[in-house]
Amino acid sequence: MTANVDTRLAPRQRLARGLKYSTVGPVDVTRGVVGISANTVTAAAAGLRKRYESGKLRRQLAAAAQAVAALPEVLQEAAAAPEPKRRRRPLVLAGVAAAVLAGGAVVFSIVRRSARHEAPTPLAPSVEVNPKP
Protein backbone atom coordinates (compact mmCIF):
# COMPACT_ATOMS: atom_id res chain seq x y z
CA MET A 1 0.00 0.00 0.00
CA THR A 2 1.48 3.31 -1.03
CA ALA A 3 0.16 6.59 0.22
CA ASN A 4 0.09 9.54 -2.10
CA VAL A 5 1.59 12.43 -0.15
CA ASP A 6 0.47 15.06 -2.66
CA THR A 7 -3.27 14.55 -2.09
CA ARG A 8 -4.60 16.14 1.06
CA LEU A 9 -7.64 14.60 2.69
CA ALA A 10 -10.53 16.63 4.01
CA PRO A 11 -11.16 16.12 7.73
CA ARG A 12 -14.30 14.10 7.02
CA GLN A 13 -12.41 11.84 4.61
CA ARG A 14 -9.56 11.48 7.09
CA LEU A 15 -12.00 10.47 9.83
CA ALA A 16 -13.66 7.91 7.53
CA ARG A 17 -10.29 6.48 6.49
CA GLY A 18 -9.13 6.34 10.10
CA LEU A 19 -12.19 4.41 11.12
CA LYS A 20 -11.68 2.07 8.16
CA TYR A 21 -8.04 1.20 8.66
CA SER A 22 -6.98 -0.01 12.07
CA THR A 23 -3.25 0.44 11.47
CA VAL A 24 -3.27 4.20 11.05
CA GLY A 25 -6.70 4.58 12.59
CA PRO A 26 -6.00 6.40 15.86
CA VAL A 27 -3.85 9.02 14.17
CA ASP A 28 -6.32 9.63 11.37
CA VAL A 29 -9.29 9.64 13.73
CA THR A 30 -7.57 12.23 15.90
CA ARG A 31 -6.56 14.39 12.95
CA GLY A 32 -10.05 14.08 11.45
CA VAL A 33 -11.79 15.10 14.67
CA VAL A 34 -9.39 18.03 15.16
CA GLY A 35 -9.95 19.13 11.56
CA ILE A 36 -13.73 18.94 11.85
CA SER A 37 -13.58 20.86 15.15
CA ALA A 38 -11.38 23.52 13.58
CA ASN A 39 -13.78 23.87 10.65
CA THR A 40 -16.71 24.18 13.06
CA VAL A 41 -14.95 26.87 15.09
CA THR A 42 -14.06 28.75 11.92
CA ALA A 43 -17.66 28.62 10.70
CA ALA A 44 -18.94 29.79 14.10
CA ALA A 45 -16.46 32.67 14.14
CA ALA A 46 -17.54 33.69 10.64
CA GLY A 47 -21.19 33.64 11.73
CA LEU A 48 -20.42 35.79 14.78
CA ARG A 49 -18.46 38.21 12.61
CA LYS A 50 -21.44 38.51 10.22
CA ARG A 51 -23.82 39.09 13.14
CA TYR A 52 -21.51 41.74 14.56
CA GLU A 53 -21.20 43.47 11.22
CA SER A 54 -24.95 43.38 10.69
CA GLY A 55 -25.37 45.25 13.96
CA LYS A 56 -27.44 42.71 15.85
CA LEU A 57 -24.58 41.51 18.02
CA ARG A 58 -23.29 45.08 18.38
CA ARG A 59 -26.65 46.15 19.82
CA GLN A 60 -26.69 43.18 22.16
CA LEU A 61 -23.19 43.98 23.40
CA ALA A 62 -24.16 47.64 23.88
CA ALA A 63 -27.20 46.60 25.91
CA ALA A 64 -25.05 44.30 28.02
CA ALA A 65 -22.52 47.08 28.62
CA GLN A 66 -25.32 49.41 29.66
CA ALA A 67 -26.68 46.81 32.08
CA VAL A 68 -23.23 46.34 33.60
CA ALA A 69 -22.81 50.09 33.95
CA ALA A 70 -26.12 50.32 35.85
CA LEU A 71 -25.18 47.42 38.12
CA PRO A 72 -23.77 49.52 41.04
CA GLU A 73 -27.03 51.49 41.30
CA VAL A 74 -29.10 48.33 41.24
CA LEU A 75 -26.93 46.81 43.96
CA GLN A 76 -27.31 49.90 46.15
CA GLU A 77 -31.09 49.82 45.72
CA ALA A 78 -31.16 46.14 46.55
CA ALA A 79 -29.09 46.70 49.69
CA ALA A 80 -31.37 49.54 50.83
CA ALA A 81 -34.58 47.59 50.25
CA PRO A 82 -35.90 45.53 53.19
CA GLU A 83 -35.16 41.84 52.98
CA PRO A 84 -38.11 39.66 52.02
CA LYS A 85 -39.20 36.87 54.34
CA ARG A 86 -36.90 33.90 54.10
CA ARG A 87 -38.50 30.79 52.82
CA ARG A 88 -38.22 27.61 54.80
CA ARG A 89 -38.59 25.37 51.81
CA PRO A 90 -35.09 23.80 51.96
CA LEU A 91 -35.62 22.98 55.64
CA VAL A 92 -38.98 21.38 54.90
CA LEU A 93 -37.49 19.36 52.04
CA ALA A 94 -34.66 18.15 54.28
CA GLY A 95 -37.19 17.10 56.93
CA VAL A 96 -39.29 15.21 54.40
CA ALA A 97 -36.18 13.47 53.03
CA ALA A 98 -35.12 12.45 56.54
CA ALA A 99 -38.61 11.13 57.30
CA VAL A 100 -38.66 9.10 54.07
CA LEU A 101 -35.24 7.62 54.85
CA ALA A 102 -36.27 6.76 58.40
CA GLY A 103 -39.52 5.19 57.16
CA GLY A 104 -37.60 3.18 54.57
CA ALA A 105 -35.23 1.92 57.25
CA VAL A 106 -38.12 0.82 59.46
CA VAL A 107 -39.89 -0.93 56.57
CA PHE A 108 -36.65 -2.65 55.56
CA SER A 109 -36.10 -3.85 59.12
CA ILE A 110 -39.65 -5.19 59.41
CA VAL A 111 -39.50 -6.96 56.04
CA ARG A 112 -36.14 -8.47 56.85
CA ARG A 113 -37.31 -9.78 60.21
CA SER A 114 -40.46 -11.28 58.73
CA ALA A 115 -38.47 -12.92 55.95
CA ARG A 116 -36.26 -14.77 58.44
CA HIS A 117 -37.42 -18.28 59.01
CA GLU A 118 -36.74 -20.26 62.10
CA ALA A 119 -33.78 -22.54 61.73
CA PRO A 120 -34.79 -26.13 61.07
CA THR A 121 -34.19 -28.62 63.82
CA PRO A 122 -30.68 -29.97 63.61
CA LEU A 123 -30.25 -33.35 62.00
CA ALA A 124 -28.67 -36.25 63.82
CA PRO A 125 -24.93 -36.33 63.33
CA SER A 126 -23.70 -38.80 60.75
CA VAL A 127 -20.78 -39.78 62.95
CA GLU A 128 -21.01 -41.12 66.50
CA VAL A 129 -20.57 -38.39 69.02
CA ASN A 130 -19.13 -40.68 71.69
CA PRO A 131 -16.77 -43.04 69.94
CA LYS A 132 -16.32 -46.49 71.53
CA PRO A 133 -12.77 -47.53 72.35
- Please state, rounded to an integer, the average pLDDT across all residues of the chain: 78
Alpha-carbon gap, residue 74 to 105, rounded angstroms: 49
More confident residue, 4 or 52: 52
DSSP tally for the chain: helices H, then strands E: 5, 0
- State residue 43's pLDDT score: 92
Query: What confidence tier does 41 reach under pLDDT thresholds 50, 70, 90?
Result: very high
Closest listed residue to residue 11, CA positions, set 32, 40, 42, 41: 32
Contact between residue 18 and residue 27 where contact means Cβ atoms under 8 Å apart:
yes
Average pLDDT over every residue of 66-76: 82
**Per-residue pLDDT tens over the stretch 95-119:** 888 888 888 888 888 877 776 666 6
DSSP string, 27-91: HHHHHHHHHHHHHHHHHHHHHHHHHHHHTHHHHHHHHHHHHHHTHHHHHHHHHHSPPPPPP-HHH
pTM score:
0.29
Q: Residue 65: is its pLDDT beyond 80?
A: yes
